């Protein structure tokens, strides 16, 4: 039995987060290990590598060759020496070709034709193609199944957030995460703030008590409209939905799950817990296609009664704000790079590296989307078993809890989510019409006008 918790603690600031157990052993009986103290130690940023260490060739297969998947493939190849993309899978040939071309143009690597898989069964074929690592950035709906299959085949994984769109998927991923942990697999999940050096530097300050106990806060993703695809008469409804996936709840989880999960994940990370109750509201004002809202406002409550407010919007021409703010008993922080006292005076600032002109510049810091792949490959090559999948499953479930509350207008609890059999998506999965309710949800009960002549 091999203990890896110390090195992992140095590696990333996960020691104080949920479930940082540190024993790697594949058997059913792991038996008899001594206590695993979860003591917080500040992360030494010196251990952050700009490049992953060298080692034998690691082959990765990419499932989901859209924009983010293609980007993740390049991020991965940039992470260190001896890294290859050897298989691609997507529902659509044109997306796969574009991605394959990008890899060739930018990194000079040719993905062999026999390892290019198209269709709904592409994922399993990529997993079975002899790769060491699975990179996946499909619409989130597909994530739980792909993760389960990849872990069953003992692959290391980079998976984009969110990792599920409904409670059934969330629980499946939680179990997959724990299985992977016992196998010692490395899993990085696209919640890149946890790989961002300024966030981690700030996290260390907060854990050391810079703002005292956290008493409340806000998280925001108030941003622009994302993309949409208009229907094409040559497409089936299924094809249109998948190509237009960020606008359909069953595929994306709605934007509170698909995008705002980043900020909710920071809330969970910094507080070391997660909300257990949500009362939310939201609506659809300017979204063009699909069945989703374009704004949510949710009051999240922790077990101990602390309230945190979450707000997200995808509408152009409104006040933008993508950030977090946590209030402590002694001060506040934006979680990213700044700590203020109660009077609002700056008491700490993250020291960014200097740029070419010698000025402190956040842009001189390794971008988090690259850093997460450096961390992925480093953990695999050093056999560190870094695994953040369970955290991301919990953060995704928190976002789902907020969505369900806003859709229904009801208070929704963590226990209800953990006991829910809600599973989104059609029962039959094939190109053609998609058999799901497509109406935009309306919360609460309608006012029923009195019959004519009747007094109110």
Residues near another protein (CB under 8 A) are 23, 25-33, 151-152, 154, 167, 171-172, 174-175, 178-179, 181-183, 404, 407-410, 412, 416-422
Between 215 and 422, name the residue whose CB sits nearer to another protein. 422
Alpha helices in 342-386 (DSSP H): 368-381
Taking the complex as a whole, the smallest distance from the CB of residue 409 to another protein amounts, in Å, to 7
Taking the complex as a whole, the smallest distance from the CB of residue 408 to another protein amounts, in Å, to 4
Q: Which residues of 339-373 are buried (b: 16+ CB within 10 A; e: fewer)?
A: bbeeeeeeebebebeeeeeeeeeeeebbebbbbbb
Q: Which residues of 127-155 are buried (b: 16+ CB within 10 A; e: fewer)?
A: bebebbbbbbbbbbbbbbbbbbbbbeeeb
Between 38 and 107, name the residue whose CB sits nearer to another protein. 38
Between 215 and 443, name the residue whose CB sits nearer to another protein. 443
The residues near 409 (Cβ < 8 Å, ≥ 6 apart) are 281, 443, 444
Phi-psi sector, 204: left (phi>0), alpha (psi -120 to 50), beta: alpha
Taking the complex as a whole, the smallest distance from the CB of residue 414 to another protein amounts, in Å, to 9
Please state, in angstroms and rounded to a whole number, the distance separating the CA atoms of residues 447 and 430: 39
Tokens of 345: 């005076």
Tokens of 58: 């690691």
Between 30 and 231, name the residue whose CB sits nearer to another protein. 30
Between 239 and 291, name the residue whose CB sits nearer to another protein. 291
CB atoms within 10 A of CB 388: 29
Taking the complex as a whole, the smallest distance from the CB of residue 188 to another protein amounts, in Å, to 19
The residues near 452 (Cβ < 8 Å, ≥ 6 apart) are none
Taking the complex as a whole, the smallest distance from the CB of residue 254 to another protein amounts, in Å, to 14
Taking the complex as a whole, the smallest distance from the CB of residue 117 to another protein amounts, in Å, to 24
Between 100 and 181, name the residue whose CB sits nearer to another protein. 181
Taking the complex as a whole, the smallest distance from the CB of residue 253 to another protein amounts, in Å, to 15
**3-class DSSP assignment, residue 416:** helix
Between 50 and 411, name the residue whose CB sits nearer to another protein. 411
């Amino acid at each position: 039995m091999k203990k890896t918790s110390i090195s992992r603690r140095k590696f990333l600031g996960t020691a104080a987060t949920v479930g940082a157990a540190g024993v790697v052993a594949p058997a059913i009986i792991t038996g008899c290990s001594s206590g695993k103290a979860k003591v917080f130690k500040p992360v030494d940023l010196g251990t952050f590598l700009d490049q992953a260490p060298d080692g034998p060739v690691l082959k990765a297969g990419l499932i989901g060759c859209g924009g983010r998947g293609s980007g993740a493939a390049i991020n991965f190849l940039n992470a260190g020496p001896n890294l290859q993309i050897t298989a691609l899978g997507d529902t659509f040939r044109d997306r796969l070709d574009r991605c394959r071309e990008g890899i060739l143009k930018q990194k000079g690597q040719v993905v062999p034709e026999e390892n290019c898989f198209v269709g709904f069964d592409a994922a399993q074929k990529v997993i079975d193609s002899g790769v060491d690592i699975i990179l996946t950035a499909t619409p989130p709906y597909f994530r739980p199944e792909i993760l389960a299959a990849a872990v069953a085949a003992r692959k290391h994984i980079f998976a984009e957030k969110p990792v599920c769109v409904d409670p059934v998927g969330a629980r499946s991923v939680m179990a997959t995460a724990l299985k992977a942990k016992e196998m010692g697999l490395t899993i990085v999940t696209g919640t890149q703030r946890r790989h961002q050096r300024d966030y981690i530097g700030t996290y260390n300050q907060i854990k050391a008590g810079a703002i005292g106990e956290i008493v409340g806060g806000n998280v925001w993703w108030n941003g622009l409209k994302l993309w949409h695809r208009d229907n094409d008469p040559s497409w089936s409804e299924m094809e249109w939905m998948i190509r237009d996936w960020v606008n359909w709840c069953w595929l994306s989880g709605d934007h509170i799950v698909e995008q705002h999960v980043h900020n909710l994940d920071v809330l969970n990370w910094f507080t070391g817990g997660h909300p257990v109750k949500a009362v939310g509201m939201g609506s659809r004002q300017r979204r063009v296609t699909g069945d989703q809202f374009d704004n949510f406002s949710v009051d999240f409550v922790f077990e101990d009664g602390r309230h945190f407010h979450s707000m997200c919007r995808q509408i152009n021409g409104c006040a933008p704000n993508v950030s977090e703010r946590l209030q402590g008993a002694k001060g506040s922080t934006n979680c990213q790079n700044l700590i203020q006292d109660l009077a609002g005076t700056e008491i700490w600032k993250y020291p960014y590296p200097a740029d070419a002109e010698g000025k402190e510049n956040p842009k001189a810091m390794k971008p988090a989307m690259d850093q997460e792949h450096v961390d992925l490959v480093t953990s695999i090559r050093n056999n560190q078993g870094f695994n953040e999948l369970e955290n991301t499953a919990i953060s995704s479930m928190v976002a789902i809890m907020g969505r369900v509350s806003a859709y229904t207008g009801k208070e929704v609890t963590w226990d209800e989510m953990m006991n829910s059999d809600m599973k989104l998506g059609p029962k039959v999965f094939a190109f053609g019409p998609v058999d799901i309710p497509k109406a935009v949800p309306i919360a609460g009960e309608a006012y029923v006008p009195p019959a004519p002549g009747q007094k109110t």
